[in-house]
Amino acid sequence: MNTTDFFQLHDEPNWSNVMNGDPWADDATMSSSVFNLGLMKDLRQGQIDGRSDLEVAIALAELLHDDLRHYGTDSQQQLDDQETAAAITALVAVTRRLGIRFSLPFRNQTGFRSYWLRNNGSGSWEARRAMLDSLFDPLHQQLIEMENRSFEALARPVSPREATGWPMVDEEIRELRRRFQTSQTPQDYRDVGNHCIGVLEALSRTVYDPTKHQRPGEDVPPVDKTKQRLGRYVEESLGGADNFELRGLVTKAVEFAQKVKHDLPSRRDAGIAADSVILLANILKRLEEEF
């Protein structure tokens, strides 16, 4: 998330054309960027869909720090007094949900001006910047540390390639990584299980070939029968039945992903399931090698 996500484009009349008698000209309207006060209200009430509180806090803290710096130095701020107050209130609420004790000694731009006047900042832009740095830098540091912890690396293959080369599978793995990084609640982690199943079904679609893997008298198993389809791929790729250990990896990875999907798992369990299916995808890709 970045700071521009807190703004919305708003169309309004281009009055120069309207006054000149051409209200239907291509540029009769113009777009402006408007701060999203409704979003600030939503953030005060709880985490918003599709965004973690952590990524919101990082971007909102950056916006407020930068905008107040402009207000105190060159008057190039984007927010007005009311919008600044709404943003500060939202940031306090979001950081509280993250377990961070954050507050400011003012609640809007007018309050910031009074604050710097009381603290020898009336004649010095540098003093005002230093005030803001002392208030925001500890928060920035805490958020960076939390972000670094949240980027726990899921499994990486030992091979130098960054992807399997199977487009559907690689896209599902990318989405799985994104979902895991932004998850915070048991419900989020259960959705990680859904993404694990997405990886398995993409593998099922990719590697199972009825001309090679369907047995006489069998119907083609549906895509969601991943244990059956992936197990058959293992059997045919290794050219024999003496591969029960590898088939067992397929079975356990599928079963654990299903468990995470249906339970209310912890971050640990969701991470194990995600690691398992990512590793399985790379193991199956390795079966294409000649030796």
- Residue 161 domain flag: no
* Per-residue pLDDT band at 247 (split at 50, 70, 90): confident
- Residue 11 domain flag: yes
User: Distance between CA 273 and CA 15 in Å, rounded?
Assistant: 58
Question: Same domain, yes or no, for 143 and 195?
Answer: no
Residue 291 has pLDDT above 50, yes or no: no
Question: Same domain, yes or no, for 61 and 173?
Answer: no
**pTM reported for the whole predicted model:** 0.55
**28-48 confidence digits (pLDDT tens):** 556 688 999 999 999 999 988
User: Distance between CA 44 and CA 87 in Å, rounded?
Assistant: 9
- Residue 63 domain flag: yes
Q: Is the dihedral of CA 37, 39, 42, 44 positive or negative?
A: negative
Of the listed ranges 41-45, 191-195, 250-254, the one predicted with least confidence: 250-254
Question: Same domain, yes or no, for 91 and 197?
Answer: no
Per-residue pLDDT, averaged over 220-228, amounts to: 92
User: Distance between CA 144 and CA 163 in Å, rounded?
Assistant: 28
- Residue 162 domain flag: no
Residue 15 has pLDDT above 60, yes or no: no
Question: Same domain, yes or no, for 26 and 129?
Answer: yes
Cβ pair 186, 264 in contact under 8 A: yes
Q: Bigger pLDDT: 137 or 237?
A: 137
Cβ pair 175, 195 in contact under 8 A: yes
Question: Same domain, yes or no, for 176 and 78?
Answer: no
- Boundary-marking domain end, from 118, 150, 182: 150
User: Distance between CA 290 and CA 238 in Å, rounded?
Assistant: 10
Q: Which domain holds residue 245?
A: 167-286
- Boundary-marking domain end, from 115, 150, 185: 150
- Residue 72 domain flag: yes
Single-letter amino acid code for the residue at 109: Q
User: Could you give the number of structural domains in the chain?
Assistant: 2
Question: Same domain, yes or no, for 128 and 194?
Answer: no
The rounded percent of the chain whose pLDDT value lies above 90 is 51
User: Distance between CA 246 and CA 227 in Å, rounded?
Assistant: 12
**64-80 confidence digits (pLDDT tens):** 999 999 999 999 999 99
